[in-house]
Protein backbone atom coordinates (compact mmCIF):
# COMPACT_ATOMS: atom_id res chain seq x y z
CA UNK A 1 0.00 0.00 0.00
CA UNK A 2 2.84 2.38 0.73
CA UNK A 3 4.32 1.72 -2.73
CA UNK A 4 1.06 2.29 -4.64
CA UNK A 5 0.63 -1.35 -5.66
CA UNK A 6 -2.70 -3.05 -6.32
CA UNK A 7 -3.94 -5.83 -4.10
CA UNK A 8 -6.79 -8.33 -4.43
CA UNK A 9 -8.01 -10.27 -1.40
CA UNK A 10 -10.26 -13.22 -2.19
CA UNK A 11 -11.60 -15.95 0.08
CA UNK A 12 -14.56 -17.92 1.30
CA UNK A 13 -17.12 -16.64 3.79
CA UNK A 14 -15.60 -16.02 7.25
CA UNK A 15 -12.04 -16.53 5.97
CA UNK A 16 -10.74 -13.19 7.30
CA UNK A 17 -10.93 -10.94 4.23
CA UNK A 18 -12.33 -7.93 6.12
CA UNK A 19 -9.89 -8.40 9.00
CA UNK A 20 -7.03 -8.55 6.50
CA UNK A 21 -8.21 -5.35 4.78
CA UNK A 22 -8.52 -3.57 8.12
CA UNK A 23 -4.98 -4.65 9.05
CA UNK A 24 -3.52 -3.68 5.67
CA UNK A 25 -5.19 -0.26 5.85
CA UNK A 26 -2.87 0.59 8.74
CA UNK A 27 -0.02 0.71 6.20
CA UNK A 28 -1.72 3.40 4.10
CA UNK A 29 -0.07 6.74 4.91
CA UNK A 30 -2.24 8.85 7.21
CA UNK A 31 -2.31 11.81 4.81
CA UNK A 32 -3.71 9.70 1.94
CA UNK A 33 -7.19 10.33 0.59
CA UNK A 34 -9.21 7.09 0.67
CA UNK A 35 -12.66 6.07 -0.52
CA UNK A 36 -14.22 2.71 0.29
CA UNK A 37 -17.22 1.12 -1.38
CA UNK A 38 -18.96 -1.75 0.40
CA UNK A 39 -22.26 -3.64 0.31
CA UNK A 40 -22.34 -3.61 4.11
CA UNK A 41 -20.18 -1.23 6.10
CA UNK A 42 -17.57 -3.42 7.81
CA UNK A 43 -14.24 -1.68 7.27
CA UNK A 44 -12.86 0.63 9.94
CA UNK A 45 -10.15 3.01 8.79
CA UNK A 46 -8.47 5.54 11.05
CA UNK A 47 -7.66 8.11 8.39
CA UNK A 48 -8.98 11.67 8.55
CA UNK A 49 -9.35 11.76 4.74
CA UNK A 50 -11.49 8.60 4.51
CA UNK A 51 -14.86 8.70 2.77
CA UNK A 52 -16.91 5.52 3.33
CA UNK A 53 -19.41 4.65 0.59
CA UNK A 54 -22.14 2.06 0.32
CA UNK A 55 -23.61 0.25 -2.66
CA UNK A 56 -27.33 0.86 -2.97
CA UNK A 57 -30.01 -0.99 -4.83
CA UNK A 58 -31.67 1.15 -7.50
CA UNK A 59 -35.41 1.26 -8.06
CA UNK A 60 -34.82 -1.11 -11.01
CA UNK A 61 -33.30 -3.71 -8.66
CA UNK A 62 -29.71 -3.19 -9.78
CA UNK A 63 -26.75 -2.45 -7.50
CA UNK A 64 -25.17 0.97 -7.87
CA UNK A 65 -22.30 2.82 -6.21
CA UNK A 66 -22.66 6.55 -6.76
CA UNK A 67 -19.34 8.26 -7.21
CA UNK A 68 -18.78 11.59 -8.88
CA UNK A 69 -16.32 10.76 -11.65
CA UNK A 70 -15.06 14.36 -11.82
CA UNK A 71 -13.49 13.94 -8.37
CA UNK A 72 -11.94 10.47 -8.72
CA UNK A 73 -8.46 11.92 -9.30
CA UNK A 74 -8.54 13.47 -5.80
CA UNK A 75 -8.26 10.06 -4.10
CA UNK A 76 -5.04 8.15 -3.52
CA UNK A 77 -6.61 4.76 -2.66
CA UNK A 78 -9.84 2.98 -3.58
CA UNK A 79 -11.01 -0.01 -1.54
CA UNK A 80 -13.94 -2.05 -2.84
CA UNK A 81 -15.07 -4.63 -0.32
CA UNK A 82 -17.55 -7.50 -0.48
CA UNK A 83 -18.30 -7.16 -4.17
CA UNK A 84 -21.18 -9.53 -4.82
CA UNK A 85 -21.93 -10.31 -8.42
CA UNK A 86 -24.84 -12.25 -9.85
CA UNK A 87 -23.84 -15.49 -11.50
Instruction: Kindly write down the DSSP assignment for every residue of 60-82, as one continuous string.
Output: TS-EE----GGGGGG-SEEEEES
Q: What predicted TM-score, i.e. pTM, was given to this entire model?
A: 0.70
Count up the domains in the chain and report the number. Answer: 1
**Within its chain, how far is the Cα of 9 from the centroid?**
12
Average pLDDT score, the chain: 78
Collect all residues with Cβ–Cβ distance below 8 Å to 79 and sequence separation of at least 6: 21, 25, 34, 35, 36, 37, 43
d(CA 15, CA 83): 15
Mean pLDDT per 10-residue section of the chain, whose length is 87 residues: 78 89 90 86 89 75 57 72 57
Asked whether residue 29 is assigned to any structural domain, the reply reads yes
Asked whether residue 40 is assigned to any structural domain, the reply reads yes
41 is in which domain, residue-wise? 17-81
Amino acid sequence: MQNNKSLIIVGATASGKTSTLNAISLFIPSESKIITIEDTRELTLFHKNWIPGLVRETFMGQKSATLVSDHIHYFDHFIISNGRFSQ
